[in-house]
Amino acid sequence: MAIDIHWLERVIERRKREAGEAEARLHPPAMVKEVLEFLRVRELKKGVFVDMTVGTGGHTLAILQANPKVEVIGIDRDATSLEVAAERLADYADRVTLIYGDMRDIRRLLHQIGVERVDGCLIDPGPSLWQMDSKRGFSFLDDSPLDMRMDRSSQVTAQTLLQTLSASELEQLFVQAGERRSDARRIAQAIVKERSRSGGIPTAKALAELVIQAKGVRGGRIHPATKVFLALRMAVNEEIDALREGIFEGAKVLKRGGRLVVLTYQSLEDKTVKEAFAKLAQPADKEKDRPLLRILTKDPIRPSFQERHQNPRARSCKLRAAERIR
Query: DSSP assignment of 161-184, as one string?
Result: HHHHS-HHHHHHHHHHTT--HHHH
Binding flag, residue 250, ligand SAM (CB under 6 A): no
Choose the stretch contacting ligand SAM; rule: CB under 6 A; options: 76-84, 221-229, 249-257, 275-283: 76-84
Q: Is 218 exposed, middle or buried (0-12, 13-18, 19+ CB in 10 A)?
A: exposed
Task: Give least dist CB 113 to ligand SAM, A.
Answer: 16
CA-to-CA distance for 10 and 56, rounded, in angstroms? 17
Residue number with CB closer to ligand SAM (81 or 272): 81
Cα dihedral 224, 230, 233, 235 in deg (nearest 10): -120
**269-304 burial: b if 16+ Cβ within 10 Å, else e:** bbebbbebbebbbeeeeeeeeeebbebbbeebbbbe
- Alpha-helix runs per DSSP H in 31-148: 32-39, 58-66, 79-88, 106-112, 129-132
CA-to-CA distance for 93 and 10, rounded, in angstroms? 15
Residue number with CB closer to ligand SAM (154 or 182): 154
Figure out which of the listed residues 3, 56, 270, 297 binds ligand SAM, where binding follows CB under 6 A.
56
CA-to-CA distance for 159 and 166, rounded, in angstroms? 13
Residue number with CB closer to ligand SAM (54 or 214): 54
Choose the stretch contacting ligand SAM; rule: CB under 6 A; options: 54-62, 63-71, 273-281, 290-298: 54-62
Binding flag, residue 187, ligand SAM (CB under 6 A): no
Residue ranges in 96-115 that form contacts with ligand SAM under rule CB under 6 A: 102-104
Task: Tell me which residue of 270, 291, 323, 309 sits closest to 37, measured CA to CA.
Answer: 323
Residue number with CB closer to ligand SAM (190 or 231): 231
Task: Give least dist CB 78 to ligand SAM, A.
Answer: 4
Residue ranges in 145-164 that form contacts with ligand SAM under rule CB under 6 A: 150
CA-to-CA distance for 282 and 259, rounded, in angstroms? 17
Binding flag, residue 81, ligand SAM (CB under 6 A): yes
Residue ranges in 119-148 that form contacts with ligand SAM under rule CB under 6 A: 124-126, 128, 131
Choose the stretch contacting ligand SAM; rule: CB under 6 A; options: 53-61, 132-140, 181-189, 223-231: 53-61
Choose the stretch contacting ligand SAM; rule: CB under 6 A; options: 41-49, 52-60, 281-289, 317-325: 52-60
Which residues bind to ligand SAM, rule: CB under 6 A? 27, 29, 53, 55-59, 75-78, 81, 102-104, 124-126, 128, 131, 150, 242, 246
